Amino acid sequence: MRRRIKEKHHVSQAVTRFPVPARPPASFLRRHWRGDYSLGRSYWLHTVLLTSLVPALAISVLARLTNDMPARYGMAGVLGIAAFSYLAWTWGVCGCWRSASKHVARGGRRWAEVVVKFLIVCGAISMATSTWRAAHSLREQLDIALGKQLGPPVVYQVRVDGRSVLLQGGMNDGAADGLEAVLQQHPSVRTVVLYSAGGWVREGKLVGDVIRRHRLNTYVEQECSSSCTLAFLAGRDRAMDPRAHIGFHTLYTVGGDDRINKSFDRKLTFDTYGKLGLPHDFIERIADTPAAQSWYPELGQLLQAGVLTRLAPGGETAQLATIATSRDVLEAEFKKGALFDIMARYHPADFARTIDLAWARAQAHASDAEILAVGREQVGLLSRRLLPIASDQSLAEFQQLLLDEAVALRGISAAACTELIYPRSRAEAVAGREAPQSALPQEFANREQVMTQRLLRDADPANAGRYSLAERTRVMRKALAPLTQEQLKLLSSPLRRQADPDATCDASIAYLRAVNQLPPDERRVALRVLYSRE
């Protein structure tokens, strides 16, 4: 018994010498979660200030860190911050609710508890509503974080002449690196042909940096829109095919609140295009065009704003020669045009000869313009040969088109007008009168296409007129009657026509108009006689 008392004494001494450590105070996060802080501190400092300020600071830091990184990294960071913001908000309102529940017990007023809980409920409803509205945006951001791009995959095609490379597809992550690799392998490339509906603004700028660093030209054969224009504007020489399109719209932020993004996107548009040298009013029109649409300025607007440095006739690169890996492929490409398709069906021998000549040019790595010029020349030769057996309608259309083109060219250049009607060589006469016509609006080329297609279809030997010499002489004299003696001498003398193009143009227009003013039967005879002469 005495021993037990002694042992208890030793234990008591041991406890006295080695006291049990006290429980550490609860952490800040735990104390707020349990509602241990005052209601004012829990609501204003922890819930309102911390849960809004910390995510905002994180977004600012993230923007700086990912500014020069692919979009997926920035989106992944944004989603991470969003997830943290939801957790922080949940922690804040739960702790604030518990603090409100303890507020009266601490000596606080009941109305303060009620007001804070009411505000928390309102905030929860607002949070749920905004989350529902942002569901689509969040899904879009998640797809981008997982690697989704805004445009189709990028492909590069170095044309067979080695002087140009086609960049086709979206301005996706890595487009600039891919272009740089291609240029390193093909140092002879001088032009980047862009075919893109856009993509990331950052990548458009980076592609532009590559073009600018290599001092390359840019060219558009089909379309370059949205952020593709940022790459296009980096070219030293900038041109486009007359049938191509260059489109602009306001630069925009993917995901987030559109109301918040709107002012930021407008500033981004002005800053970006302003640094590229576009005038303020042009950028204003870009900024006013919604991202879901595109504004396609006319050629004159593009030239005036400095988007284009020159007008181009088209076909400047060796696209056809690159695509046409065989004669059959080239033939298929030609048949995509309505005119050549009609030529192949109605005049197969002439079409075959045309393809043979074009294939020889393609094998020599000629440009599209050079290859198509062969085709136009052959169409011109065929058309000239078919005029004597054309239908009355085709002859009348040809006559009216020639007159309208001459009148239009008279206001541009009398020499071009004269060259149209009296070309220096027969080869130029049948090659589509390309040189003078290049100064005319596109509507004339469209009319000629329609007229030539009809001529190729309805030419028939049965259309050839059978008129006596006396009948032809009588009709032509009547057509020439309105002209003065000076005009008649001028039109009959090649030397005089060449020396005085102004008078020649006026006399030619007068002659064409005089033919048109003949009675229908006589006009038909006059046209048949006029265009049957070789």
Clarify whether residues 129 and 159 are in a common domain.
Answer: no
DSSP 493: -
402 found inside a domain = no
Q: Return d(Cα 117, Cα 23) in angstroms, integer.
A: 32
Residue 33 tokens, joined = 């979660």
268 found inside a domain = yes
Q: What is the CA radius of gyration of the chain?
A: 39
Final residue in a domain of this structure, among 123, 145, 167? 145
pLDDT at position 441, please? 79
Q: Return d(Cα 194, Cα 176) in angstroms, integer.
A: 12
Please give the residue range of the domain that contains residue 290.
155-305
472 found inside a domain = no
pTM: 0.71
Task: Mark the ranges of the chain whose per-residue pLDDT is less than 50.
Answer: 1-18, 20-22, 425-434, 534
pLDDT, tens digit, 9 for 90 and up, residues 111-161: 988 998 898 898 888 888 877 877 777 777 777 767 677 778 999 999 999
Q: Rounded mean pLDDT of the chain?
A: 85
pLDDT at position 60, please? 61
Clarify whether residues 177 and 107 are in a common domain.
Answer: no
pLDDT at position 260, please? 54
pLDDT at position 288, please? 94
Clarify whether residues 280 and 208 are in a common domain.
Answer: yes
Q: Return d(Cα 318, Cα 165) in angstroms, integer.
A: 10
70 found inside a domain = yes
Nearest-CA neighbor of 115 among 39, 49, 36? 39
Q: Return d(Cα 74, Cα 63) in angstroms, integer.
A: 7
267: domain CATH number?
A: 3.90.226.10
Clarify whether residues 201 and 284 are in a common domain.
Answer: yes
Number of other residues whose CB lies within 10 A of the CB of residue 122:
10
Clarify whether residues 275 and 187 are in a common domain.
Answer: yes
Final residue in a domain of this structure, among 288, 305, 322? 305
Clarify whether residues 269 and 168 are in a common domain.
Answer: yes
pLDDT, tens digit, 9 for 90 and up, residues 257-310: 555 567 778 888 999 999 999 999 999 999 999 988 999 999 999 999 999 999
Clarify whether residues 112 and 130 are in a common domain.
Answer: yes
Clarify whether residues 131 and 219 are in a common domain.
Answer: no
pLDDT at position 15, please? 43
Distances (CA, A) of 280 to 144, 272, 292: 33, 12, 22
* 3 state SS for 311-342: CCCCCCCCHHHHHCCCHHHHHHHHHCCHHHHH
220 found inside a domain = yes
37 found inside a domain = yes
Clarify whether residues 265 and 184 are in a common domain.
Answer: yes
Clarify whether residues 68 and 175 are in a common domain.
Answer: no
Full DSSP string of 363-383: HTT--HHHHHHHHHHHHHHHH
pLDDT at position 261, please? 61
150 found inside a domain = no
Q: Which residue has the tokens 């988007």?
A: 307
Clarify whether residues 46 and 81 are in a common domain.
Answer: yes
Number of domains in the chain: 2
Residue type for 340, please? Answer: F
Final residue in a domain of this structure, among 110, 145, 180? 145
Clarify whether residues 164 and 212 are in a common domain.
Answer: yes
532 found inside a domain = no
Distances (CA, A) of 18 to 12, 13, 21: 10, 9, 9
pLDDT at position 254, please? 66
